[in-house]
Amino acid sequence: MDGLETPRLDAEDRAREYRHALGRFPTGVAFVTARTPEGDAAGLLINSFTSVSLTPPMVLWCLGLSARSRSVFAVAPTFAVSILSEEQRPLITALCRPLEQRFQGVPVRDGLGGAPVLEDAAAVFECSVVTVTRAGDHEVYLGQVEHFERREDSPLAYLAGQYGRVQVAA
């Protein structure tokens, strides 16, 4: 089978193996945030982020149905996506803390709709929510980019459960 093999597994083993197979695809590391009209903020690290359209500029990202921050994103009309730079790797620990402590000591500014934006991110996309669609055990958020910015910093990469740097061939 050309080196590709799909063994017969029980559901739990299959889910784990599926996750490992997905881990063969390198991604960037992004922090998506939102704020409710009452001022409650939420944010989480994601690697399910992609461009959808250039005209108009649109992006999408995915949120697990069991995410503690789901209630904030469910009512927020806007969200922001900050693409972490290599220099921001030390922030990973803070961005994984319990939701109530996640922004403590993390340098942010308010973006569109008050969504927190990471200072010094490699790129930032501030978006209006266009639609949210359920897909399996996740919701897919589609947003129209209202404002974006980028820096020349190298983005942080994620592959096979590890963070690293992107090497671009000359």
For the chain, domains (ranges, CATH) are 27-159 (2.30.110.10)
Report the distance separating Cα 69 and Cα 41, nearest Å: 9
CA–CA separation, 161 and 138 (whole Å): 20
In this predicted structure, what is the pLDDT of residue 104? 92
**What's the full length of the chain, in residues?**
170
What lies within 8 Å, CB to CB, of 33 at 6+ separation is: 41, 42, 43, 79, 80, 81, 82, 108, 111, 115, 116, 117
Instruction: Give the pLDDT score at 118.
Output: 97
**DSSP-derived 3-state class of residue 36:** coil
CA distance 123 to 118: 9
pLDDT, residue 1, reads 47
Mapping DSSP to helix (H, G, I), strand (E, B) and coil, where does residue 19 land?
helix
So what's the pLDDT on residue 6?
56
Q: Residues in the chain with pLDDT < 70? A: 1-9, 170
DSSP annotation string for 53-97: ETTTTEEEEEEETT-TTHHHHHH-SEEEEEEPBGGGGGGHHHHTS
What pLDDT shows up at residue 3? 59
Q: Report the pLDDT value the prediction gives residue 142, as an integer from 0 to 100.
A: 98
Coil, strand or helix: which one is 21? helix
| Cα–Cα distance for residue pair 140/132, rounded to 1 Å | 5
